[in-house]
Structure formats: structure tokens, C-alpha cells
Structure 1
């Protein structure tokens, strides 16, 4: 590990242990990101965590401010640093990637500016807080998530403009999505009853137990009584739902849709 940073976010140092067990890369999202990175020989993964979605055919430099996360990263080149202060020369990489991380950056504009400075192509996967519908967990059980998420996620239009994105691709979440962040369980409500699953979500990790536990108790009761199925049973027939997750591509030549598009059935 090279160039350690003195800045470590306590959130991921606390929830990061065992992260790879519940946050397994989904092959459909991996395919979409892989096509967006096609041809890049050198890639910097900013907010790399445990290395999900990194291309196997490129030399990857993993960057993360959390030592706990980097310790779980299998790569050989790991740098402890913040997105806003990348210790690399201008244009050092063919491409930069950032997957479900920009909402954690204290200075979003500064971090995106750094992505553009150190790479010739940028690929960012994030969520649009202005998108509807929202997850039933939020509307019916934990509306506190809405306030938290809207405080840390920037509207997609702003992120795309700041990044200079020329391509914005939707990614509807499949019902069997393997990467266990919050939205993954939209058709598997019983998964939210598992505290291990909840701990893998930074949202749940930031809410106090006296808020989360009563909500989970209500969900458990609704699953047992059939109330959840009466309200949301229609979701069980869906293969995927668009909840506002998007892949942004900037820099380089805009790819043809046949080169990058890989959407589960909406």
C-alpha cells in the first residue's frame, strides 16, 4: 500500500469488516461498467472499497480513504487517499471509475474535477434522488432514509453537468441483484430482517437503533400477516425496476449504445 492518507471515514472503518460477504458484484452491472471501460489499459478506481466492478484486463490502482476497505481489496496497487486529493499526475490513467461512492465525498465538485484531471475517460455509477418511484422501505417503514439520502446524494443532473457526461445509461435493478446495497432487496423484503444485511448498507448504519428496530418490527409483522403482500405483491411479478440508478460516462469518444447498453428487462 502506497501513499497513505491521514483521512479515514469512520463509517466504513466500522461497517467495512466482512463487506465482501454481503456486497458481491452483480454480473449485469459488471458487464455494463466493463463495456464503458473497454479499451482502457490503466484504470484508477476511486472509492474502490473491496474492488467490485474493476476490469480484469486493465492495470487498476485502487484508491480509498478507509484502511479497513483497502485491507480487503485483492489488488496489488492500493493508495489510501481522498477523491478530492488524488496523488497522481495529470492524465495518468486511461480511465477513472467511481461506483456508488460520490455521495460520500465531502467535496463532490472537487472529487469529480480530480477524476477528470487524472484520467481521459470517467465512468461513474450513482443514484438520482429526484427519481420516482422510491423504495417501499422508505415510503412505508423508514421515511428517515429519505431525509438522509437526499442530504448526501446530489441530483443526477448536477453530477452529470459537473462531470461533463456525454452518456447517461439507466440500470434497472434486477430482482436477484447480488450487490447487497439497500435497493437490492426490493423484491426480497425478508432480507431486511437480517441485521447482517442491514449493516452492509451505509444508510442503515447511520440511523439509530431506536429508529430502525421499530420499523423492522413493523415489516416483520406485515410479512407475517400478509399486509406487505397485499400492498406490494405486484412487485413479485417484476424482473427489474428502475429506481433511479445511472451510469455516467464522460471524456473520450462517446460510445455507441451497442457497445455499452446492457439493461435487465424493465
Structure 2
């Protein structure tokens, strides 16, 4: 039996936005995280605070953070702390900033993805701070993903026209109304004219999408 200890918000703070129907943990993505954690019995689940963890050295079998690193003031310090208190794997669900802009949304709201890319440390930075042996695995996003991040709507562009859906993705809170209005106007026009479907319509039937979502896993 696995015992999970949340700290600083944990997965709840990382993957949910209140009770928003547009942002709920996706069980299929959760299975990839569980696989990365392996047979660990005690897991520290770190949210938005990590620089001074109140735990003993090697207290946990594993540690994880889901989109937490983008919120930490000092990422390297936070990762060193996770490594310090963990005997086994440290697992990070994050976005590879080098791939964030390779998404159709960049056509309509580049400011949003520019902001998102700047918020995420590179996978090289994460691996370097954790040390040991590391792997990076792309996580396939299902077509009906419930995670609420931008790429979750890769084949459902109409959903992002809903302000509530955009609000569930924190990157939209860093841009102004001008950006949101331009996005709404241009995407709506391309959907009505068929231009979006002409270029990106194949995504509507793609069962999964491999974009910027990755799991970085490091062992001592």
C-alpha cells in the first residue's frame, strides 16, 4: 500500500482549479506517474513550496511534483530538497519549454505560449539539479483529457472559446484582454470558415497527442 504525503498543495493544488469542471486529474496521465513511481510505498507529493522541506534525509521512498516547479522561486533549491528527502525516484510532471510553442494555439495566442514557455525550467536544468540517473518521457495526452491545460484541447478547439476553460489554465491569467479578444476573434473566424479544420482537423480524431507534456524521472 502506498502512503502519499502532500506538502505545499500537492497534486490537488497542482492539477485542480477549485471545483472547475474544466480541470480534473486525468486518470490516464496519473497511470504514467504511478508507473514512474514504481513500487514506492511512501511518496512525498510537493505542490507550490519546496525550498525548505520539513522532513529528514531519505525519509521517503519517492517524491513527485505535478506542474509545481513553475511556481517555485528557487527551482534548484526545491529540487535539491526533494532529492535530499528521497531514497528513490523523484518524478516531475512538467512541460518541456522547447516544445510548448509547437502547438496550434501559437497561431492565435502566441503571448500565452511565450509566457508558458518562460515559466517552465528546461528538462536539462531539472535533470542537472536532481543529479543521479535521469530519464525524460513524453506523456501522450488523450483526446478527451480532463487536465485543463492548453494541449488537453488539441482536438477540441471550440472548448477554448469558453472563458471558463481558459481560466482553468493559469497561463491565460498572465495576458491581457487584448490577447484574449484577439484569440477569440481569430479562432472563431477560422472555425467558421473551415480554415482551422483544413490545417489541423486531423487532430479531431487523433486518439492521443504527444506535445510538450513530459515526465522527468531521476534516481540517485
Q: Does 1:239 align with 2:207?
A: yes
1:109 to 76, 88, 104: 76
1:175-196 residue CA offsets vs partner (Å, 9 max, x unmatched):
2212111110010000101111
Q: Give the Cα–Cα distance (whole angstroms) in 1 for the partners of residues 18 and 23 of structure 2.
A: 11
Task: Please list, as runs of the form range in 1=range in 2, the aligned pairs for 1:53-64 lying within 5 A after superposition.
Answer: 64=48
Unaligned 5+ segments in structure 2 are 1-6
Deviation, structure 1 residue 133 = 6.6
Q: Does 1:124 align with 2:124?
A: no
4+ long deviations beyond 3 Å: none
Give the structure 2 partner of residue 18 of structure 1. 19
Give the structure 2 partner of residue 42 of structure 1. 42
Root-mean-square deviation over aligned CA pairs: 2.2
Q: Secondary structure at the match of 2:214?
A: strand
Deviation, structure 1 residue 132 = 7.0
Q: Give the Cα–Cα distance (whole angstroms) in 1 for the partners of residues 183 and 212 of structure 2.
A: 24
The answer to whether the 8 Å contact 1:44/1:95 transfers is yes
Q: Does 1:141 align with 2:142?
A: no
Length, aligned pairs only: 207
Taking structure 2 as the reference length, the TM-score comes to 0.85
1:197 to 154, 160, 165: 165
Give the structure 1 partner of residue 4 of structure 2. none
Q: Give the Cα–Cα distance (whole angstroms) in 1 for the partners of residues 30 and 18 of structure 2.
A: 23
1:92-147 residue CA offsets vs partner (Å, 9 max, x unmatched):
21111011121121111011101101111211111111127711111x11111232
Q: Give the Cα–Cα distance (whole angstroms) in 2 for the partners of residues 150 and 247 of structure 1.
A: 16
Task: Please list, as runs of the form range in 1=range in 2, the aligned pairs for 1:154-165 lying within 5 A after superposition.
Answer: 154-164=121-131, 165=133
Q: Give the Cα–Cα distance (whole angstroms) in 2 for the partners of residues 249 and 231 of structure 1.
A: 35
Deviation, structure 1 residue 22 = 2.3
Q: Give the Cα–Cα distance (whole angstroms) in 2 for the partners of residues 22 and 133 of structure 1.
A: 22
1:76-100 residue CA offsets vs partner (Å, 9 max, x unmatched):
xxxxxx2112122211211110111
1:147-175 residue CA offsets vs partner (Å, 9 max, x unmatched):
21232112212212222242222112222
1:53-96 residue CA offsets vs partner (Å, 9 max, x unmatched):
xxxxxxxxxxx4xxxxxxxxxxxxxxxxx211212221121111
Q: Give the Cα–Cα distance (whole angstroms) in 1 for the partners of residues 116 and 51 of structure 2.
A: 21
Deviation, structure 1 residue 41 = 1.8
Unaligned 5+ segments in structure 1 are 48-63, 65-81, 253-266
Taking structure 1 as the reference length, the TM-score comes to 0.71
**Relative to 1, partners in 2 of residues 1:16 and 1:146: Cα closer, same or farther, differing over 3 Å?**
closer
